[in-house]
Each structure stands twice: as structure tokens, then as C-alpha cells.
Amino acid sequence: DIVMTQSPSSLAMSVGQKVTMSCKSSQSLLNSSNQKNYLAWYQQKPGQSPKLLVYFASTRESGVPDRFIGSGSGTDFTLTISSVQAEDLADYFCQQHYSTPRTFGGGTKLEIK
Amino acid sequence: QVQLQQSGAELARPGASVKLSCKASGYTFTDYYINWVKQRTGQGLEWIGEIYPGSGNTYYNEKFKGKATLTADKSSSTAYMQLSSLTSEDSAVYFCARNGNYAVFAYWGQGTLVTVSA
């Protein structure tokens, strides 16, 4: 199984600040045939279901604000929120969609100061 | 619009079984995989498995083989997950989620809370 490791486990930021969080996989998520990285990011607000933000490491899902930016390749990935808003209070999970079993990182909890 | 409506909360005794449902609407049920995901309170997400309603083919996380059984009823556009031999470790919220085009979970149900207690 591919192990996904996220860091930090939590962080607290002020509105308007830039936020970065990391996700590392135990093996490469790069598909050499199409040069795509099979890494997705989800946002889960308190009491809600997860919501897909990004897939293929950097492709934003339709309707997701452009302040959410996914980057990285191979085994190292980053989700950046360029200017955090109060409504971004949530847990963020990465997930590899490269192989089964699909696996998730342990999550990063974002708190707003 | 795509919607996944899950059944209500369950309270079950240790050793019992429960069957959760996930009713799909707004798309052709047989064209997309339905996945099931477990989330224990305050913890991360675990993929249990997936079913392709068009064929009934299933794929399980090895960890959940023998614990979860996935089925689908095309006539009612409903996916089911049966959990057997329940223990306290099975107490969690269970989500169903539909694939988008690339094996990511683009649509989610609201979740079903399962509580296992004597």
C-alpha cells in the first residue's frame, strides 16, 4: 500500500496570510505514460463531508476558488492557499488515486486566528 | 445535479451486522464507481472498497475483506454496504462517494454514523 504522510498536523493562520501544507507519498505517483501525478486534495469542514479541491496534483475542481493551488511531483506535494479566508477553516486531506487501495494522508487541521 | 443520499444513523450490538444504503440520483447509476470510506471520530479517512454498478464488480481494501460486503441495485440506483461481526472498532461515520473521471471522489453522501455498543 502507498503510505501518505501529511505535515503539519495542524496550523493556525490569520485571514489574508499564505498557507502551505505538505503531503508525501511512499512511492512515486507519477504515471510515466501521461506524465500526470495521481494526487488529490480534499477539504472537510466541521460536520460536513469531504469536498474535492484538486486532482492530478494541480488541476482545480470546477468551482473551487483560485486561491487553492496544488503543486508537486513524484512523491512530494503541496497545497497552498494564497490568501486564507475565515471560511477555509477545515481539515485538509491528500489522497493518492494512482493505485488501489486508495489511501489518504492523516490530514492537516487549519485553524484561523 | 448529482446527489448521494445515505441512510440514517445505526446503533448496533457487538457481533451484529448492519446494512447501509446510498441512493444515487442525477446521473446514470451504472456508469460510475461508488466507493465507501470510513472515518472514525476526529481521525482520517480509510478507503473500504468500490463497486461498479454496471457489472457488479467489486474491489476491496484487504483490510476490510470479510468485514464489508458491497452490493448495488440497479433498479433503485442504490448502493449498499453490509458490515458484519461488529466491534467497537467499527464505530465510525461511513461515507459513500462517487468517482469523477479519474478515480477521485467528486461527489459524497452526507455520511452514516454507526455506533457499536452493548
Q: pLDDT tens digits, chain B, 118 residues: what are they? A: 999 999 999 999 999 999 999 999 999 999 999 999 999 988 899 999 999 999 999 999 999 999 999 999 999 999 999 999 999 999 999 999 999 878 899 999 999 999 999 9
* B102 closest CB neighbour out of A49, A56, A104: A56
**A96: confidence class by pLDDT, cuts 50, 70, 90:** very high
Residue of B nearest to A54 (CA): B104
CB contact under 8 A, B105 and A101: no
A49 → closest Cβ in B44, B102, B110: B110
| Longest CA–CA separation in chain A, Å | 44
List, for residues A98-112, the tens digit of each pLDDT value. Answer: 999 999 999 999 999
Q: What are the Cα distances from residue A50, in Å, to A41, A99, B38, B92, B105?
A: 10, 20, 12, 15, 9
DSSP B32: S
Label residue A4 by pLDDT band (50, 70, 90): very high
Min Cα distance B102 → chain A (Å) is 8
Q: How far apart are CA B42 and CA B98, in angstroms?
A: 23
Q: Which helix (H) or strand (E) holds A58?
A: none
Q: Is A76 exposed, middle or buried (0-12, 13-18, 19+ CB in 10 A)?
A: middle
CB atoms near residue A75 (< 10 Å): 18
- Residues of chain B found within 8 Å of residue A62, distances taken between Cβ atoms: none
